[in-house]
């Protein structure tokens, strides 16, 4: 078989009854688990749109009772997202508390247990999403997350878009295993992991710096029609040029001036698409007195000249 289900999710109660009460039925309904069937996994493994990353199993547990998740020697990555309540993660020979808004990620062949104990906080609802995923790009997606986590644990906060993506993935079981639904679900997973990686990066940056990237980008947009020097940008952020450039590139993967130029070219594309102004006029409106220099810069970044871009409007 392509995989073995080694997640054990169960609820423990201090009393047992042979009679199914309404309350017990609600507990059953509050745990949703979706296991991708073997026939579909075989297709996901080789399909060009899903081979890179795809889920094996996923679920959501909501309960006032105890929850236990155990993994011994899996060949996949495992992710847990705490929506409410708290739990204890036993991973890499240490126990840590997982709180509301925390994210857990464990790599293949890394045993761990995750559990909640409602006797400590009675009547408190625990709500967790969990997902097992694999694929040719799984290690790469995991690496982007783990580089900003503390041994697989980090706080990302309550993110509405992540909850929406996970709920949509779980709804796959109701929509059916058609190719269109599954491919869409796989891309939702990729979107969720990418969003989480971005959030972790932003959170780590904000915790260690008072640097306001949004304010800097706002300054750039407000001065899109003129030139901005590195000195001006660094002075605005009250940092030296070296530290400003370092922090900016750490967050955007590009230099401040190149980022500003890219914004100018985006503005130029909008102008070329939506009005008949001459290329010279557009260049001047962006602070470029030499339209030939502007055209060379535009072609270098966009891949075609301003005229070619305008002529290819509906290509």
pLDDT in tens, 108-133: 999 999 988 656 565 567 899 999 99
Q: What is the 3-state secondary structure (H, E, C) of 166-196?
A: HHHHHCHHHHCCCHHHHHHHHHHHHHHHHHH
> Residue written as tokens 């901005």?
228
Q: Among 80, 119, 117, 118, which residue's Cα sits nearest to residue 100? A: 80
User: In this predicted structure, what is the pLDDT of residue 112?
Assistant: 94
- Strands across the sheet with 87-91, in order? 10-12, 66-71, 112-115, 87-91, 94-98
- In eight-state DSSP terms, residue 314 is T
Burial per residue of 138-173, b for 16 or more beta-carbon CB atoms within 10 angstroms, e otherwise: beebbebbbebbeebbbbbeebeebbebbebbbebb
Beta-bridge partners for 134: 54
pLDDT in tens, 35-85: 888 888 999 999 999 999 999 999 998 876 677 888 888 899 999 999 998
- Rounded Cα gap, residues 110 and 72, in angstroms: 7
- Rounded Cα gap, residues 290 and 275, in angstroms: 20
Identify the structural domains of the chain with CATH numbers, from first to last: 10-206 (2.60.120.280), 213-311 (1.10.10.60)
Tokens representing 3 are: 């995989």
Q: Among 244, 200, 186, which residue's Cα sits nearest to residue 36? A: 186
pTM of this structure: 0.68
User: In this predicted structure, what is the pLDDT of residue 314?
Assistant: 65
User: In this predicted structure, what is the pLDDT of residue 11?
Assistant: 31
User: In this predicted structure, what is the pLDDT of residue 121?
Assistant: 60
- In eight-state DSSP terms, residue 150 is B
Q: What is the 3-state secondary structure (H, E, C) of 63-92?
A: ECCEEEEEECCCCCEEEEEEEECCEEEEEC
User: In this predicted structure, what is the pLDDT of residue 16?
Assistant: 33
- Rounded Cα gap, residues 291 and 305, in angstroms: 11
pLDDT in tens, the chain (315 residues): 333 333 333 333 322 333 343 444 444 446 788 888 888 899 999 999 999 999 999 999 887 667 788 888 889 999 999 999 899 999 998 999 999 999 999 999 999 999 886 565 655 678 999 999 999 999 999 999 998 899 999 999 999 999 999 999 998 877 777 778 889 999 999 999 999 998 888 776 666 566 778 889 999 999 999 999 999 999 998 889 998 998 888 878 899 999 999 999 999 999 999 999 999 999 999 999 999 999 999 999 999 999 999 988 766
In residues, how long is the chain? 315
Average pLDDT of the residues of the chain: 84
- Rounded Cα gap, residues 178 and 40, in angstroms: 9
């Amino acid at each position: 078989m392509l995989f073995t289900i080694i997640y054990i999710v169960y609820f423990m109660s201090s009393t047992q009854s042979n009679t199914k009460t309404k309350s017990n039925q609600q507990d059953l309904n509050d745990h949703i688990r979706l296991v991708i069937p073997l026939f579909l996994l075989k297709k996901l493994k080789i399909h060009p749109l899903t081979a890179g990353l795809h889920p094996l199993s996923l679920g959501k547990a909501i309960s006032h009772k105890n929850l236990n998740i155990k993994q011994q020697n899996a060949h996949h990555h495992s992710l847990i997202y705490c929506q409410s309540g708290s739990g204890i993660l036993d991973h890499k020979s240490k126990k840590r508390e997982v709180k509301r808004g925390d994210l857990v990620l464990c790599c293949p062949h890394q045993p761990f247990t995750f559990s909640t104990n409602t006797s400590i906080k009675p009547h408190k609802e625990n709500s967790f999403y969990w997902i097992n995923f694999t694929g040719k790009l799984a290690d790469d997606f995991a690496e982007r997350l783990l580089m900003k986590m503390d041994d697989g644990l980090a706080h990302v906060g309550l993110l509405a878009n992540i909850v929406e993506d996970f709920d949509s993935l779980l709804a796959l079981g109701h929509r059916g295993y058609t190719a269109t639904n599954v491919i869409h679900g796989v891309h939702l997973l990729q979107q969720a992991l990418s969003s989480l990686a971005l959030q972790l990066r932003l959170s780590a940056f904000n915790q260690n710096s008072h640097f306001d990237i949004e304010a800097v980008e706002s300054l750039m947009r407000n001065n899109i029609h003129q030139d901005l020097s590195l000195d001006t940008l660094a002075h605005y952020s009250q940092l030296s040029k070296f530290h400003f450039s370092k922090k900016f590139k750490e967050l955007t993967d590009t230099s401040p001036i190149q980022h500003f130029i890219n914004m100018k070219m985006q503005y130029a594309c909008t102008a070329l698409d939506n009005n008949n102004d001459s290329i010279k006029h557009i260049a001047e409106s962006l602070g470029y007195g030499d339209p030939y220099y502007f055209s060379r810069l535009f072609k270098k970044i966009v891949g075609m000249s301003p005229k070619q871009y305008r002529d290819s409007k509906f290509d």
